[in-house]
Amino acid sequence: MDKTVEKVILVGVETEDNYLRFDGSMKELANLTKTAQGEVVFSLTQKRPKLDRQTVIGKGKVEELVQLVDAYEADTVIFNHELSPRQNQLIVDALGVKVIDRVQLILDIFAMRARSKEGKLQVELAQLNYLLPRLVGQGKQLSRLGGGIGTRGPGETKLESDRRHIRDKITAIKRELKEVTAHRERSRQKRRSSDLFQIGLIGYTNAGKSTILNMLTTAGTYSEDQLFATLDPLTKKWQLPQGMIVTLTDTVGFIQDLPTQLIEAFQSTLEESRNMDLLLHVVDASAEDRLQHEQTVVELLNDLDLEQIPVLTVYNKSDQVDKDEFIPTLFPNTLISAKSARGKEELTKAVRAKMMELLVPYEFDISSDQGQNLSELTRHTLLLSESFEDSKNAYHVKGFAPKNSKWVR
């Protein structure tokens, strides 16, 4: 049975605090709604010094919104601001339709996208934590929801259960998450002890991280022109042209005003990035709000204490910008198109150059009967040259290796 697309009215208030990024934020809200399979039928915006304490938009605008909901036969109203339980209740009483905010919308998309057990548990935990204080007096509204945007995940019956049941559920999920996280930590330790150079892909949502992962490896991950297409950290092996094997980890996309519940819920997703030797910060070079996107990622990296990890900025989607007029703002960087044939070659070259700065140079001889050592050296280090010297009956090798590697003498 085809699920009918929900008609959605977006509501945003431009204030003294958000006017610089307001337009971009509303555009992003429309994209998020589309990703959550909703159709935006109208966007109601207003300017005021600060949000109305009771209804965010004030009494007059609420009356206007009532008429708009009626005129457009809207199913859902989505606010571009986090609503308090009280605000949500007052607006629902006035409109008589489902009302959700930006946080619930993002949580909803996360519920759609999560694939792994950990991802699903993280989403459910964030949703339940968010909904717990909003359960008071919501019985009527929740029984009216009947599915759709903002209601995926825990499910209607769980939401209508009493608060104690939800608290028990939260405790159970936290316990289960501990076990899953411990398992992931064991996998991480294994990777760390194997001397592999680890590269993490980070960046604003929809910048092209998964496309780059697919281009460099045979990962075949879900990469679509949608917000939050990737939610679960995915690690793949990438073999460089010289033979060295490194790991590439894709992570969830960052977004401005990322709700704190989500930063906490996805701490483990971003936790993967803590152990990286190099981060590739993928930026959509063609995005209108490119500078804002860059700033959001840099600030979040600082919040997560990841600023000490070396970063190479990868400006992606060069096919959609004028290369001669493009001015990069983050350094070091490279400008590529992950969709072009040359993109892989250009990115590989830039990553290799950055790795040479981070690794330790070596130069020594390997005797001809140590063939096994030579092939190991090729896989675990960046081997630049090898030449056989008859006089020594040995291979003279030069290259770069991780500093803890047994090859660094």
Per-residue 3-state assignment (H helix, E strand, C coil) for the chain:
CCCCCEEEEEEEEECCCCCCCHHHHHHHHHHHHHHCCEEEEEEEEEECCCCECCCECCHHHHHHHHHHHHHHCCCEEEECCCCCHHHHHHHHHHHCCEEEEHHHHHHHHHHHHCCCHHHHHHHHHHHHHHHHHHCCCCHHHHHHHCCCCCCCCCCHHHHHCCHHHHHHHHHHHHHHHHHHHHHHHHHHHHHHHCCCEEEEEEEECCCCHHHHHHHHCCCCCCCCCCCCCCCCCEEEEEECCCCCEEEEEECCCECCCCCHHHHHHCHHHHHHHHHCCEEEEEEECCCCCHHHHHHHHHHHHHHCCCCCCCEEEEEECHHHCCCCCCCCCCCCEEECCCCCHHHHHHHHHHHHHHHHHHCEEEEEEEECCCHHHHHHHHHHCEEEEEEEECCCCEEEEEEEECCCCCCCC
Residues 350 and 382 in one domain: no
Amino acid sitting at position 264: E
Residues 312 and 390 in one domain: no
* 131 appears as a binding residue in the annotation: no
Residues 82 and 216 in one domain: no
* 208 appears as a binding residue in the annotation: yes
Residue 153 domain-assigned? Answer: no
pLDDT given at position 21: 85
* 153 appears as a binding residue in the annotation: no
Residue 142 domain-assigned? Answer: no
* 221 appears as a binding residue in the annotation: no
* 318 appears as a binding residue in the annotation: yes
Residue 148 domain-assigned? Answer: no
**What is the CATH classification number for the domain harbouring 309?**
3.40.50.300
* 143 appears as a binding residue in the annotation: no
The phi-psi region of residue 97 (left if phi > 0; otherwise alpha if psi is between -120 and 50; otherwise beta) is beta
Residue 82 domain-assigned? Answer: yes
CA–CA gap between residue 350 and residue 365 (Å, rounded) = 28
Residues 206 and 270 in one domain: yes
* 253 appears as a binding residue in the annotation: yes
Please list the ranges in the chain whose pLDDT falls under 70: 1-3, 135-147, 151-162, 188, 191-194, 219-233, 256-272
Residues 178 and 270 in one domain: no
Residues 202 and 323 in one domain: yes
Residues 119 and 253 in one domain: no
pLDDT given at position 137: 47
* 24 appears as a binding residue in the annotation: no
Please tell me the total count of domains within the chain.
Answer: 4
Residues 174 and 281 in one domain: no
Name the residue range of residue 100's domain.
6-110
* 174 appears as a binding residue in the annotation: no
* 195 appears as a binding residue in the annotation: no
What does the mean pLDDT of the chain come to?
84
Residues 284 and 312 in one domain: yes
* 128 appears as a binding residue in the annotation: no
Structure tokens at 240: 């460089």
Residues 208 and 328 in one domain: yes
Supply the pTM of this predicted model: 0.76
Neighbouring C-beta atoms of residue 345, cutoff 10 Å: 12
* 203 appears as a binding residue in the annotation: yes
Residues 188 and 242 in one domain: no
